[in-house]
Structure 1
Amino acid sequence: MIEIVGLLGLAAAGTGVLWYGSARLEDAANDLADSYGLPAVVQGAVIAAVGSSMPELVSVLLATLVHGAFELGVGAIVGSAVFNLLAIPGLAVVLGGGIDTTRELVYKEALFYMLAVASLLLTFSLAVIYNPVTAADSLVRGDVSRPLAAFPVALYGLYVFTQYLDTADEGRTGDTSVDTARAWLRFGVGLVVIVVGVEALVRAAVGLGDAFGTPSFLWGMTVVAAGSSLPDAFVSIAAARAGRPTVTLANVLGSNTFDLLVCVPAGVLVAGSLTVTFAHIVPMMSFLVLATIVFFGISRTEMRLSRGEAWTLLGLYAAFVGWLVLESLRVSSVLEL
């Protein structure tokens, strides 16, 4: 019991450190966006999204290279994506008021994000089909190779290119009052602090998995995912209260797109090849697809997120957490632990 309390304390401390580092990094990212004259949607979907996704990227790299637990990193990414889609918009509306959506967000950002979900699931499926791994148990596994991992990264390159074209068409000028060099320095310092906070979260997830005798990726989907996404939640709530809902939703969708197309493949590209268990990946990705469909449908209705729709999103996230608790207690066996 003392060990579990200590691990939870480590996770809380890591979340606090991560929060501080993320705030520094995102402030620097916003200054850089102003310096380069980027429009609000691009600022939220690319600059702020990449900045806020650094915890997820670091979690995949640390889980893979330091702890040898790639699926923990994947679980953290999927859990973070679900949290971003359901909890952040829901909390932003409940605590900050209704959020208006735009056709650009719904038909460009949301649709491209849905393509990101499909491409990552396709990558894992191709790994199982063309690079199967034989194991003592009956679970189906596959090796994700570098060529397969390069496919979603190339898709993200296309996403950035489309954002670049939109920025070029607007012809905005940058804010010359911003000290660009100082902003990049603050960005680097924030990244270092994030590494420290994420390492604490990953260690806590691995320890909790050992303490409860369950795979660490389950704790990655909750402890690491929520810890790495909480800073985004507070930033989005503040943005909604300040009357900047476009940045809030663009950040959510852009962050998830970066997580799926860059953060997950990054572990493979660094390690060379990594094994995934299809029985673990498919249920996780299936719930993410469900969350995506619900979010897209709600965002499109009347082009506004109402309070009632916000509670629907929060209720679905509560169901997600409840499902993971049942899996941990072995009441449910969808994940075939």
Structure 2
Amino acid sequence: MSDSAPPDSRPSDSPPESSPPEPSGPNPSRLGPAVWITAACFIGLCASYAWASVASSSVAANLTLAVFQISMISIVIWQACEPFADAAQYLGEQWRIPSSVRGATLDAIASSLPELFTGLFFILYAMSTSVLEPGNRSDLHAGEGFGATIATCAGSAVYNMILIPAFCGIAIALTRHRKPVIEIHRTVITRDGFWFLVCEVVLVAFLFSKQLSWHLAAILLGLYLVYLVWLWVDARKYRLARTVAVQTLQSIDQPGEQQIHEALTNGGINATPSLIDYVDRELRSNGNGEEEEGDDEVDSAGMLFGRIQIPLRPSISYSLLVGSTAITAIACYWLVEVTVSIASTLDVPVFFVAVIVAAAASSVPDTLLSIGAAKRGDDDGAVSNAFGSNIFDICICLSVPLVAGIALNGGQPIDLLVDGKPMPGLFGLQVLLLTLTAITLGILSHRLQLTMRKSLLLVAMYLVFIAYAVLGSMGF
């Protein structure tokens, strides 16, 4: 299936002249609030740490400290993943990957690293300590750690699937007055939505068993491999169509945005404003990758709330990927410790804390990445990133920790029973995953648009999910 669609099935877009892409560069006036919020969180972290040190037995002090720790962790993960996402987007353009494929792969991996590391650290924590469940049990096994991994990935999947499109829809409705709706390409629903549903059904089916073996990991990894092959075929078709469109435009002396839009559309390509900008810059190059004299437009990666801009080249991009990954791993280890601490303080299973706290904190990069893509006019990338992240969460962020858990468990399957009973909250999570997925796909499929009203409906659905987790932690 191609990334493109016939003209009658592709969401309409306004002509580029009347619909200029949203500015994507750093704006110091808009970065101020983020910096001030970070400073306030850091001060709150120091103050709450002092309070908890003095009153170590105080539940209020420990929870306050945990709240500020989660806030700082989310900020660190956000700032670590931003240059990763910029570098991944740069490499994706260098490799000529369409926006929906890039959103489902490079962007999804960039924003799903927190879930992967969090899942791995939950398994390692479960094998090296006995405090994941209330009561400081000494016979803790890998199953309880993997249960927290399932909760994190599933909770993140629900967050990505519901809140990310909702936040994008709200942000666009409030800021993009020329077209206050998110246009959803049919390919995003029929390809990424379909694959997410398939992976989800496989996971839910396996979770009904009492033990998880390496077979689940093999099947999930196999599904992801097939998904990547499908994306590769789409990307190949896109590159061929784009090459034809660019060759046509090269015969025109200084083509305008409208002409670029028409050439891409005639080639069956969804001409987003960000793609038009890239093609325009490609046409203005000398054919050897160097910009024409007087063209100072350079791809860059933003760091420290965009205050620092690093010019991107392939070698620099790969270095940023490695450095961002290392920082994300450290932050995720901190996230696991805080999640366990909250569960111990409240005397509730870590499963229910992970499904909200760890899932939301690890999903911060997905949210900001998708909102940024939507503001740049890349609606396809914004929505496909959410589905691609979920597919990566289920296929990779669960299978890799499962393999690690089996290896650390002496090669034995992971037992999902706790004291001989099914893990609390697991069945309810399975039902909610399938139900919320079906409803969300229906909402996004309706007219292939995401409006403010639909976005608010999605937020209400997520509140239902939060209510499930809260009631489950209370024993209901």
TM beyond 0.5: yes
Change (3 A) 1:237 1:170: closer
Deviations 1:240-289 (CA, angstroms, capped at 9, x unpaired): 22221110111000000110111111111122242224453221121111
Tell me, yes or no, if the aligned pair for 1:33 and 1:43 is still in contact at 8 Å.
yes
| Greater alpha carbon shift after TM alignment, 75-84 vs 195-204 | 195-204
Tell me, yes or no, if the aligned pair for 2:151 and 2:351 is still in contact at 8 Å.
yes
Distance in 1 (CA, whole Å) between partners of 2:460 and 2:101 is 30
Aligned pairs (5 A) from 1:261-300:
261-272=395-406, 273-277=413-417, 278-279=422-423, 280-300=425-445
Confirm whether residue 86 of structure 1 aligns to residue 220 of structure 2: no
Q: Return the offset for 1:47.
A: 1.0
Confirm whether residue 26 of structure 1 aligns to residue 85 of structure 2: yes
Change (3 A) 1:72 1:85: same
Deviations 1:272-324 (CA, angstroms, capped at 9, x unpaired): 24222445322112111111111110111111112111111000101111221
2:182 maps to 99
Tell me, yes or no, if the aligned pair for 1:13 and 1:197 is still in contact at 8 Å.
no
Distance in 1 (CA, whole Å) between partners of 2:334 and 2:216 is 30
Any idea what SS the aligned residue of 1:263 has?
coil
Q: Return the offset for 1:205.
A: 0.8
Q: Return the offset for 1:165.
A: 1.2
| Structure 1: unaligned runs, 5 residues or longer | 129-141, 333-337
2:104 to 13, 36, 45: 45
Q: Return the offset for 1:235.
A: 2.0
Aligned length in residues = 316
Deviations 1:139-183 (CA, angstroms, capped at 9, x unpaired): xxx221112321111011000011111112233579856621211
1:123 maps to 206
Tell me, yes or no, if the aligned pair for 1:13 and 1:200 is still in contact at 8 Å.
no
Q: Return the offset for 1:53.
A: 0.7
Confirm whether residue 326 of structure 1 aligns to residue 460 of structure 2: no
Q: Return the offset for 1:198.
A: 1.1
Distance in 2 (CA, whole Å) between partners of 1:167 and 1:246 is 14
Deviations 1:9-55 (CA, angstroms, capped at 9, x unpaired): 22222111111111121112112211211111111011111111111
Amino acid in the other structure paired with 1:251:
N
Any idea what SS the aligned residue of 1:37 has?
coil
Amino acid in the other structure paired with 1:90:
A
Any idea what SS the aligned residue of 1:38 has?
coil
List 4+ stretches of structure 1 deviating above 4 A.
172-178
Distance in 2 (CA, whole Å) between partners of 1:18 and 1:56 is 11
Deviations 1:69-100 (CA, angstroms, capped at 9, x unpaired): 22111101011111111111111111212211
2:116 to 41, 57, 64: 57
1:259 to 393, 403, 407: 393
Tell me, yes or no, if the aligned pair for 1:14 and 1:196 is still in contact at 8 Å.
no
Q: Return the offset for 1:230.
A: 1.7
Tell me, yes or no, if the aligned pair for 2:159 and 2:363 is still in contact at 8 Å.
yes
Tell me, yes or no, if the aligned pair for 2:152 and 2:358 is still in contact at 8 Å.
yes
Aligned pairs (5 A) from 1:1-337:
1-68=60-127, 69-97=145-173, 98-125=181-208, 128=209, 142-171=210-239, 176=289, 179-272=313-406, 273-277=413-417, 278-279=422-423, 280-330=425-475, 332=476
Richer in helix (by share): 1
Distance in 1 (CA, whole Å) between partners of 2:447 and 2:236 is 30
Distance in 1 (CA, whole Å) between partners of 2:164 and 2:84 is 19
Tell me, yes or no, if the aligned pair for 1:96 and 1:238 is still in contact at 8 Å.
no
Any idea what SS the aligned residue of 2:416 has?
strand
Distance in 1 (CA, whole Å) between partners of 2:414 and 2:90 is 37
Distance in 2 (CA, whole Å) between partners of 1:258 and 1:285 is 18
1:135 maps to none
Tell me, yes or no, if the aligned pair for 2:99 and 2:378 is still in contact at 8 Å.
no
Q: Return the offset for 1:214.
A: 0.8
| Greater alpha carbon shift after TM alignment, 269-278 vs 1-10 | 269-278
Distance in 2 (CA, whole Å) between partners of 1:70 and 1:270 is 10
Tell me, yes or no, if the aligned pair for 1:44 and 1:248 is still in contact at 8 Å.
yes
Structure with the greater alpha carbon radius of gyration: 2
| Structure 2: unaligned runs, 5 residues or longer | 1-59, 128-144, 174-180, 244-277, 283-288, 291-311, 407-412
Q: Return the offset for 1:5.
A: 1.7
Amino acid in the other structure paired with 1:17:
V
Amino acid in the other structure paired with 1:170:
Y
Distance in 2 (CA, whole Å) between partners of 1:285 and 1:248 is 26
1:133 maps to none
Deviations 1:211-253 (CA, angstroms, capped at 9, x unpaired): 1111111111111111111222122222222221110111000
Q: Return the offset for 1:67.
A: 3.6
Identity %: 23
Tell me, yes or no, if the aligned pair for 2:77 and 2:364 is still in contact at 8 Å.
no
Any idea what SS the aligned residue of 2:415 has?
strand
